[in-house]
Amino acid sequence: MPTTPPLDPPARLPVAGKRGRKPACRMAEEASVPYRTTGSTLLLPLSDFLGIALDQVNFVACQLSALLAAFCFRLYLSPSHASSGVRHAFATVCGVYFAIFCFGWYSLHIFVLVMISYGIMNMASIPNIHRYSFVVAMGYLTICHISRIYIFNYGILTTDFSGPLMIITQKITTLAFQVHDGIGKKAEELTPEQNQLAIRRKPTLLEYLSYHLNFLSIIAGPCSNFKDYIAFIEGRHVQIKLLEIHWKQKGFDRLPDPSPMGPVLHKLGITLVSLLLFLTFTKSFPVRSIVDNEFISKTSFLSRLGLLYVVVQASKPKYYFAWTLADLINNAAGFGFSGVDERGNFHWDLLSNLNIRNIEMATSFKMYVQNWNIQTTSWLRRVCYERAPRYPTALTFLLSAIWHGLYPGYYFTFITGILMTLAARAVRSNCRHFFLSPEPLKVGYDVATWMVTQLAVSYTVAPFVLLAVEPTVKLYTSLYFHMHILCILVLLILPERSQRHTKSQQLSFHDMHDSERSKKQK
């Protein structure tokens, strides 16, 4: 699961061990010290009028400003009107301004890490450039996670600098690995995707700053590949994607010029609906309700399980809002074109972070994972899963937990996720082929697996929204740890398939790559 996006209630995390303060294991909602933003106070009157925390108002204001800037960028600073240098400079300056507006002096962490990483990019040897960049970026991020919680008492559920820093960490490591692949390895040593994304020269300072700090993604992401971003700035992005799918074979007499306005309007509608759901549905089912003592003591097991599902569903609109808006901003600037399908429809989902339909209709844990936080999943696969010499599944989940932060709930979620992944794989490989026909049997199987998947996901991600040990243990105890027990029983009872899974088949991160690649080739 991803880092908590904005629009959460502001709070500060009390420091453990200090007299008169609650321990750090309490949920954020129990903290009573008000949070004060370090960003601009220009919109404070609007914040007071709406009754919404200033840091959240600043976030939305910056994203709406970025959307307006994206339209202007595409119309008035297109490659036919401005040089790539001007486009790089404009994107960087706007991004820096938005970061300072939102996060004040805390934005220095973003700029410092980018400059340190640029130094590593130019001074480190090619065989070690990816290792040094990874260790420094992840180390700096981890130190910031520690300091914001335990030293500066920064908000536990607030819109702070850690979100952009997490995206910057993805970009730094992605670029370092791709430079290492392009300069330090031969083509035959790489996978087809690694060879396609490999970078054969080190980026200039302007390119490096623009890639990491551009206004399209500095506030809420997503992480893009360096080659795609440079092609977009230079005006080659759409043409490259069309050439990849052999546009003449799709029935076009000449190279088409697809417009992003259709996807922009569609995603704008999703953004508005998600915001409306957040302001109504989400507020009606707060996270703390699933660990309320009175509710637990007076309700049945099925009632508690049902409320857990509803609460997790209610937590989704803020993710849908933040990620769809970020995708929308990139599309409005003309970035994000991914190709043409068999029917000749243009697609602008290269940078999409989720597929809401597939999430809500997922009939397997794998299907759910591969459609949620897609860009982060791709990053985990490219920098960890495909390169881990041993235990790729466990190491990938561990990296994901560390990247998200240090709250115990993250580790509960990802450890449970490992069990769920292994158990779901065992059930699918041993049982699914019995239910493929006749059609009514398959429909019944799909309905049953949909219900199990949705409940399993709710059970798995609950600690992610609770964050702390005490409420997590209370919740799982009230549910008798039933999913953990079932997963262990499945792994003990169901036999291992005679044909061992290869590394490329072991985790949904890789399955997602196969799905993406086949989709682009259609």
Angle at which helix 392-404 crosses helix 408-431, to 10 degrees, equals: 150
Confirm if 114 and 169 have CB atoms less than 8 A apart: no
Residue 154: phi and psi, rounded to 5, are: -70, 160
- Given 109, 347, 404, 513, the catalytic residue: 404
Mean pLDDT over 227-250 rounds to: 83
Question: Which of 86-90, 92-96, 382-386, 439-443 bottoms out in mean pLDDT, i.e. has the lowest?
Answer: 439-443
| pLDDT above 80 (res 186) | yes
Confidence of residue 1 (pLDDT cuts 50, 70, 90): very low
Sign, CA torsion 247/252/255/257? negative
Q: Give the residue among 38, 43, 33, 42 at the shortest CA–CA distance from 13.
A: 33
Confirm if 6 and 35 have CB atoms less than 8 A apart: no
Residue 85's pLDDT is what? Answer: 97
Q: What is the dihedral of CA 374, 379, 382, 385, to 10 degrees?
A: -80
Sequence-distant contacts of 177-184: CB under 8 A, at least 24 apart: 177/130, 177/134, 177/382, 177/383, 177/387, 178/225, 178/226, 178/227, 179/121, 179/126, 179/129, 179/130, 180/126, 180/127, 180/129, 180/130, 183/126, 184/126, 184/127, 184/129
| pLDDT above 50 (res 520) | no
Respond yes or no: is residue 373 known to be catalytic: yes
pLDDT tens digits, 373-429: 999 999 999 999 999 988 898 899 889 989 998 888 999 998 999 899 899 989 988
| pLDDT above 60 (res 10) | no
- How many residues does this entry show for the chain? 522
d(CA 360, CA 373): 14
Which three-class secondary structure state does DSSP give residue 436?
coil
The structural domains of the chain, with segments of one domain joined by +, span 1-235, 261-333, 380-521
Confirm if 374 and 355 have CB atoms less than 8 A apart: yes
Supply 347's token pair. 């697609």
Confidence of residue 37 (pLDDT cuts 50, 70, 90): low
Beta-bridge partner residues of 346 = 340
Instruction: Please give the radius of gyration of the chain, using alpha carbons only, rounded to the nearest integer.
Output: 23
- Given 373, 430, 482, 484, the catalytic residue: 373
The two most distant CA atoms of the chain are separated, in Å, by 75
pLDDT tens digits, 132-151: 999 999 999 999 998 877 76
Interior/surface letters 379-417, b for 16+ CB within 10 angstroms, e for the rest: bbbbbbbbeeeeebbebbbbbbbbbbbebbbbbbbbbbb
